[in-house]
A and B are shown apart, each in its own frame.
Chain A
Amino acid sequence: MSLSADLSGTKGAVHAHRPTGTAMAQDRGRPRVSRLGLILVAPALFLLSCFFLAPVVLTGVFAFTNMSTSTGIGAGEYVISPNLLDDLADAGLSEEVVTAISAETYEITPDGIEAARAGGVSADFLRDIEGLLLGDGFDTARGIETALRGLPSAPRSPRSLKLTAEFFGHSVLNQRFDSAQELTEALSLAVPDVDAGIRSEIVGASYTGAIYTTENFTYLATQPSTMRLVANTVIYVGATLSIFNVGLGLFLAITLFYMPKRVSSFYSTLWLLPRITPLVLYTIMWKWFTWEDGFLPLLAEQLGLPAFNYMKGSVITAWMTMISVNGFVGASFGLILFSGAIRAIPTQQLWASEVDGATRWQQIRRIILPQMRWPILFVVSYQTLSLLSSYESIWLTTNGGPGKTTTVWALEAFKTALSSYTGNLEYGLGAAMALVLVVVGLALSIIYLMAFKFGELVGRPRIEF
């Protein structure tokens, strides 16, 4: 799509409007909302909301969570683990409370009896328990076991007694609760004397799911590696854009414009190849080109130059490779756009300048380049956006290495959230990093819209029924 081709929006009603009196607003003349129109846009609206809008919103929401592989995605549970208790004790929770929470207490309840029945305890024994012990409470295992042994139909083996006793036991430790309220209730049963404030603190700390936090952003703001990422990104985008997308694109477009037809169409096609080659194959070709035993190192070896894995072997060569990989694709974007723009220049202008005795260089500088202003602006704004977020080819080539020297912001965000070697994916942090890109991208695309005069693109439908 060249911009000019798309600027052909219909221009409202063609008839000149001549006001003849005071404005009058009547609903009658207003066009009705087209039901067909609503039906026709519905699928697009649905898909865009699901896979464009929702991801933006979710990125925004999860950027403020600490969600990761360990917290899981979705609602978490409330569990008081022994580790957590240790932590709480370290944080000043009183010894008594800790013991009370970890201790198991026993109470003979109808629920417990049902559970025991389901668990295979003999009916006679249960009848006795229900008849004689219902409502009794015991603080220790020994206490309830003694009481059970005293019953007429009690089994002989201590093991059976122990098993039976367990059906009446209560402990909040290591038990999974779906909601904070359930855990609070359980806690108030287990440790009724604990202050409500402390109790809710314990409940809060026991949550295993993701929680809302601004930590991601403070983390990003305080890490020295953040600056490094930003610098890498700026250098990468700036270098690729200026050297390849604009610089080389413009050079190719202008040079090929003056070439004989066969030469120019050969090179145009050659430069288009990277664009149509599937990315995986394209990156494999670059690997072959720069890898040890690949083309360049072998060539260098034969010439007596240092030969190593240029893609990952040194910082300088890694950067050059990374920029070239993207640049060779990007140059064709500039080439297509600029070629179109040059061909749109009326040939008379060029002929006139030649008649006037301008050299070709003057012709380029005085006539062609000034008319390339808008195409260049378009390429820069459009490609800035796509380069900012393009990590696919970096991921498949240098993968940000060696070390993290060629890691750009988008790649790091992607790796943090979705492709970590350590196995712990930090969704929250990744989302926060992506959110930064979303905001930058949104701002840039709105500016770009305003620069290209959006208003002119919207014509009014002319059939009013």
Chain B
Amino acid sequence: MLMLYVVILFLWLALLLYLVMGGADFGAGIIEMFTSNANKSRTRRIMYNAIGPIWEANHMWLIIAIVILFVGFPVIYTTMSTYLHIPLVIMLMGIIARGTALTFRNYDAVIDDMQKVYNKIFVYSSFITPLFLGIIAGSAVSGRIDPQADTFMAAYVYSWLNWFSVAIGFFTVALCGFLAAIYLIGEANDEAERKSFIRKARIMNIAAVVAGAAVFIASITEHIPLVQWVFGNVIGITAVSAASISLVMLWYLIYRGKRYIIRVLAGFQVTMILLTTTYKHYPNIVILKNGGYLSLIGDRGADKTIEALGVALLIGSLFILPALIYLVWSFQRKPNGSTNHH
């Protein structure tokens, strides 16, 4: 059943691309949050020029992932949306607030105090959305989802409110901030801006390491076999080593003044992280409290549906990928074009 693997590959790629491109996008808001007031408007301008043309597309990956889930793997989709209802609603609020605030602040014809309102909403939602995305991802594998639960708290709150999931949430936030900072280093107009983004990247890198350590500690205290998933197999160890080496290279190249290769390396980091954390328990992407699993193979939809979905994704990618690559490339080539914004 070749198409099943095509569909699973697309699901994984959609998650990866959402994490990298959507993540850098969220990260831009996180960076703005941690920028001193004096530099905020300049950071905002650089950021807007960088992400403006592509930000809507960055968030389409989430839609692709969710559609793959509900068409191809309906039991996984409905189990998650039932027991993780609350964090999903909070995440959706973040998505609504962020998407509209960013657009409103760019397209409000009058520049006045409303900008402050948009900015506040934008930065807070840029933080909250990836936090809850991480919490949801962590909850899927934390083994706290309990379809047999008989109290509201056990079924709908403890399913996601645990140290492990929350630590993954903060790790995701730090990762997004790191991606954005690395991206923005290449967009800086002068040495002072560059230095400031490098400083941001360093802070976010430290935050990611701290949050990552917290994830491991929480996994041990909450009896989640994360250590085994990551270090218990060749792929995991190789990926972690590759990520570590590439991180050292990344920092070396940042100080050597490279712009593009550091972006590739940062993307590579994220790819390795997603690979190690999903490889070992594949194809089980939801782990239940009773030890049961929801599997991409065992809990898939009808074969005819998977076939059609695979074909649709392949055809769709023929349209999407060239257009997307051309979009990114054209605005990379000549940054800071005339956008007739004020």
Asked if A and B bind, the verdict is: no
Seen from chain A, the residues whose Cβ lies within 8 Å of a Cβ on chain B are: none
